[in-house]
Structure 1
Amino acid sequence: MALFICAVLPCFLCVFLWCLCVSEIQCHDWGVWSKGSVRVYDGEVAYLYCPLFSHPTLYSYSQTQNSSLSLLWYRHPHTHELEQPINLKLHTLHKDREYLWIQPASAQDAGLYICMLRNISSCVKIGVELEVIQKDGECDRRAQPHLNLTIPFQSDQTLTCPNLNTLTLPNSTHSVSWYHFISHILGEFFSELESFHIFGLISRFTHSSFFTVVPDVGSKVPIVLNPASDQIYTVTLGEPTLSCRVLLPHLYEEKQYIWWTVDNKTLEQLADPRFSSPEAKLVSNDYGDERKERVLYVMDFSADDLQREFNCSARNSRGINTSRAVLKTEPYVPTLELGCGLGVTLALMLMMFVIYHVFWLELLLLYRSWFGSDERYTDDKQYDVYISYARNSEEEEFVLSTLRRVLETEFGYSVCIFDRDSLPGGTITDDTLRFVGQSRRLVVVVSPCSAVRGTQALLELQAGLTSMLHGGSLRVVLIQFKPVQRKSWVKELRRARLALTLVRWQGEKSAPLSSRFWKHQAYLDQESLTTLKDSV
């Protein structure tokens, strides 16, 4: 857009527009200052302090006045997307140095107030939250505390109204009213300034002071609770941590100290980067008596460090107390190695179980191909397979063109088919029994037509079952060519179905030699009845 304007305007106007674009700066946002949030009662005066002046090393108001920086105030009422400039022409808003006064504050004044310091080259801003609440009685304790005090028993203490110097102006008049709320030994005092003249108006403030009354008895010497005199730290080589817990009795406005020493040297004197100890953390506070914990971190802890002396000390004006940490190494248990070994073992067992469950048939056939023996040299049988089937065109087509071809061509079996291998003039019953007796396996093709009484297929099935049950070496394999309703099964077929596994022909899905139909066929052809029942 600027380039388009430059194309049609004189050169000096282009330069002016270009300077305006370059002079546009980004304002550094410090976010919202949580410590500076203000909560006031409805109808009283609220004064907001610009947090940018909380760090005099960065900004001070006197330096700002002498520099080109300008202090601006904005407000974000949470009902608009953009912050709005403060209108200082309103009689309720006043700006005094780094403070913004709202006199009096109402619920509509609540929101986020943003103070900004900027000039032509820099800009920085930060927000302060203002909350306006309704006052519930004279001792409403919801206002934020302006002062926290700890007062010992049987001691004199003078309370002053917090921030009185900030709120009062030269040659102004004011009066202070005090209110007190007490619960057990925890007390809260409220100070209320009224008839206070500021900016020509009468203002009212309410500030609160919280105080705790604590006992002032005993020796007040710090007590090292941990490590105790008979306590032993069990550590592991690597990066152990030593904890020191101390009871610090209350002493009014007095700082107390906790520190670790190694070989009677403080960590500063030791100057060893392996040792570090952050500041003590407060664990509990019981009416001024504090329990604090300070931790000692040791990096690359070795067996030589067991011979060093580790002491925890605590001190105040009443005395000093020191306790030594006695260390011993924890017996090494190869938990990681054992866990990893157990995990790998379980994973291998699970993997082997899954592999066997999915590929058990392939594994058995592979084993037999390596370690099996040729049964043709161990018996006097003439045929490897005798095929029994119903004499109809569809089933006969399956037996002759598919089943016989694969068994003879691919498996290398010698196959006996009664209609092909029997000689004319013989007796069907005698020839059937003779052929079945000379075969090592009987493959029965099960279909609705094969289980009809009086058929040769049923005779062949009866001969095979009789030979098998009387201790013969004949193995019977059932192939379901077409589904047969259970209620139409003859007694011999029911008995065979209970003892033997039924391999189902599934048409085109079973036709490839790699299908599980032919793998089951190869497995069942080589399996005895007992093993077959247990495996499948």
Structure 2
Amino acid sequence: MVIHLSCYSPMLLLPLHPERGAPREREVWFCLSRVIPLSLLVIQCHDWGESDDGAVRVMEGEACWLLCPLFSHPTVYNYSSAQAAGLNLVWYHVAAGQDLEQPIDFHHPDQRLSKERERLWLQPTTTQDAGQYICMLRNRTSCAKIAMRLEVLPSGQDPNCEVKAAVPPTPVIAPIQDGRTLTCPDLEHIKLPNTSHSVTWYHGCNAFGNFNIDRVLKGDKLVIHVMLEHYQGLYHCVVTYETKGRAIKFTRVVNVTAVSSSGLPKQPNILNPAKEQLYPVKQGSEVNLTCRVSLPYLEGPRETWWTIDGKTVDQLADPRISFTSRVVLDYFGDWTVENVLRIQDFSSEDLTREYNCSGRNGRDVATRRAVLEEEVYLPSVELGCGLGVTLFLMLVLFVVYHIFWLELLLLYRSWFGTDERCTDDKEYDIYISYARNSEEEQFVLLTLRRVLENELGYTVCIFDRDSLPGGTITDETLTFVGRSRRVLVVLSPGYGLQGTQALLELKAGLDSMAWGGHLRVILVQYKPLRRSGWVRELRRARVALALVRWQGDKSSDLSSTFWKRLRVELPVRRIKD
């Protein structure tokens, strides 16, 4: 028996004062006492909410069991202790899309749902079973409940795979060339030995028996005698058993991952910095020190870190210093880890510190020091700009020379050339040799002579003008040629005929040029002539001597290419103002 006090507010009852509307100084509560049986006492149930383990997933038509999350921590709730304390486990179901809690009927004719200790069995599962399940542990004095969610996935056929599962795979590590035995997960939860069962294994969605001597079935287990690379992947095991007159099954997945052989060296190895490696650094800039560590696979944690003067980056707590670590290569579980130490605004004090890179796995620890060297400043920007300007100027000079090479050559000769009048006793600068006919004679007298004597200031010798009457033609020709610095040969179709004076002048000029070296012969092509009509001396001269072509009216101007080319071959002489 307990005494229950029921208290009522005065607002629900008549006021104490008989006068209507009289003010009340205080509010008075009336409490009535009555005796209530203990069986009628309402107990507040502690609600733990929904389990943090996430939803349980199952394929439609397969067996499923739900473990009450209250017993996930045996130190808090233990099923045997709860039974001894008079606590009962009650299950409720809230269907998907509904809010009403319905107690689970374990006496339904289909006998699909059953309870075994702290587990709720669904054999098999249907789509109507999806939703929230609440397990409540209570007696007369205490109560606790927690919810969990069940998701039922449709069992549609996958054309690419004979089997599929809803539960996440169980990871299994298998070293290369070693053996490993695969056991179907949750097989121990079905009632043995009273329940007969069978296990079918799949690899790559295909069922198999004894493929080869490396993988064989032994009872419910799959034994891999020699692990190979192509043996890794997902293995499905389908457990089929019979209960209450019906065949039930559930599917589990084992994810086999191949790792490096256990017979290989497992000590960590520092790849970078290498021995005697120097890290160039520059003060005032950001410095990145890269460390690469090989960490072979071993069970347990693997890590890399930097130490500065024996302290880690976290212990230094310097905002300028940070690090990043990532796995750049994963080869059968053997990691190559890259750890980059980043130092901003690098100073001279940082240069004097000791930097060590370390790596560790379950076997050993490896450490190597990083040696820093201050980088010599190279004015790369200045050098690059200077080189670019130099190349640009060279290009400009090349273009200018290619276009104005004659002008530049004449300018150079006028400044630095030697006046031949000061080095010899020749009387004439130029001796003109030409075919004696009216057209060539007019070109020589009216054009060549006028420009060379009047415009350019050369002394010109023309045999027909400067020879005295009564002399011998041969002797006077040789004399005039010998007293001249250049022999200008005007080529035309009539030039070089056998026995002409023009041929004599050409031979005399070539002989003097060959023996003495103080005379030069210049060929001026006045009109085109066929090479078949050239005499032997003219062919020899054409190979060794410069040829300046007269192009009619285009060559009349003193600034034309003809006169520039001709002035290059003539003795040095300044142009008159």
In the superposition, the TM-score normalised over structure 2's length comes to: 0.53
Q: Does 1:262 align with 2:304?
A: no
Query: How many equivalent pairs are there?
Result: 384
Structure 2 counterpart of 1:245, which letter?
Answer: V
What displacement does 1:369 show? Answer: 0.7
Matched, 1:178 2:201: yes
Q: CA-to-partner distance for each residue in 1:125-165, whole Å, 9 max, x for gaps? A: xxxxxxxx477xx9x9xxxx956432588998754389xxx
Aligned counterpart, 1:59: none
The question of whether the paired residues in 1 share the 8 Å contact of 2:179 and 2:227 is answered with no
- From 484, 490, 493, the equivalent of 1:445 is 490
Quick one: distance in 2 between partners of 1:361 and 1:99? 96
Question: Which residue matches 2:45?
Answer: none
> Does 2:343 correspond to 1:298?
yes
From the superposition, tell whether residues 397 and 274 of structure 1 become closer, same or farther in structure 2 (CA, over 3 Å).
Answer: farther
Look up the SS of the partner of 1:179 in the other structure.
Answer: strand
Q: Does 1:160 align with 2:185?
A: yes
Counterparts of 2:252 and 2:451, CA distance in 1: 104
Cα distance between partner residues in 1 of 2:169 and 2:444? 102
Distance across 2 between alignment mates of 1:278 and 1:105? 43
**Equivalent position of 1:149 in the other structure:** 172
The residue number in structure 2 matching 1:51 is none
User: Counterpart in 2 of 1:327?
Assistant: 371
In structure 1, stretches of 5+ residues that fail to align are 1-64, 67-95, 107-132, 163-173, 197-201, 528-536
Which SS does the other structure have where 1:280 is aligned?
strand
Where in structure 2 are the equivalents of 1:355-434 lying within 5 Å?
361-422=406-467, 426-434=471-479
- Percent sequence identity is 46
Going by fraction, where is helix more abundant, 1 or 2? Answer: 1
Distance 1:161 1:428, change over 3 A: farther
SS in structure 2 of the partner of residue 279 of structure 1: strand
Q: 1:431 to 1:272 in 2, by over 3 A?
A: same
Give the alignment partner of residue 275 of structure 1, picking from 314, 321, 326: 321
Q: What letter corresponds to residue 231 of structure 1 in structure 2?
A: K
Tell me the amino acid that sits aligned with residue 417 of structure 1. Answer: I
Secondary structure of the residue aligned to 1:369 is: helix
- What displacement does 1:523 show? 1.6
Contact conserved, 1:176 with 1:193, CA < 8 A, in 2? yes
One-letter code aligned to 1:103:
G
Which of 234, 241, 247 pairs up with 2:278?
234
Native 8 Å contact 2:170 2:255 kept in 1: yes
State the AA in 2 paired with 1:243: C
Cα 1:501–1:191 shift into 2, 3 Å: same
Please say if 1:516 is aligned against 2:564. no
Q: For residues 490 and 469 of structure 2, what CA distance do their matches in structure 1 show?
A: 24
Distance 2:265 2:536 in 1: 103
- 2:235 partner SS: strand
**Equivalent residue for 1:103?**
156
Judged with a 3 Å threshold, the aligned counterparts in structure 2 of structure 1 residues 175 and 482 are, in CA distance, closer, same or farther, namely: farther
Query: What does residue range 463-478 of structure 1 map to in structure 2 within 5 Å?
Result: 463-471=508-516, 473-478=518-523
2:172 maps to a residue whose letter is: L
Q: What's the secondary structure of 1:277's corresponding residue? A: strand
User: Per the alignment, do residues 275 and 401 of structure 1 end up closer, same or farther by CA in structure 2, a change over 3 Å counting?
Assistant: farther
Give the Cα separation in 2 of the matches to 1:412 and 1:277.
84
Distance of 2:405 and 2:277 partners within structure 1? 56
Report if aligned partners of 2:169, 2:252 keep a CA contact under 8 Å in 1: no
Cα distance in 1 for partners of 2:530, 2:249 equals: 102
Secondary structure, in 3 states, of the residue corresponding to 2:307? strand
Question: What is the CA distance between 1:438 and its match in structure 2?
Answer: 3.7
Does the CA-based 8 Å contact 2:509-2:519 persist in structure 1? Answer: yes
Measure the CA separation in 2 of the matches of 1:322 and 1:154: 30
* 2:63 paired residue number: none
1:488 deviation in Å? Answer: 2.5
Return the alpha-carbon distance in structure 2 between the equivalents of residues 444 and 289 of structure 1: 90
CA apart distance, 1:450: 0.8
CA distance in 2, matches of 1:383, 1:493: 23
Assess if the C-alpha contact under 8 Å between 1:451 and 1:490 holds in 2.
yes
TM-score by length of 1: 0.56
Deviation at 1:379, TM superposition (A): 4.4
Residues 505 and 191 (structure 1), Cα distance of their counterparts in 2 relative to 1, 3 Å cut:
same
- Distance in 1, matches of 2:416 and 2:263, equals 93
- Aligned to 2:281, what secondary structure does the other structure show? coil
The 1:358–1:437 alpha-carbon spacing in structure 2 relative to 1, beyond 3 Å, is same
Q: Report the more deviating stretch, 208-217 or 406-415.
A: 208-217
Superposition deviation, residue 291 in structure 1: 4.1
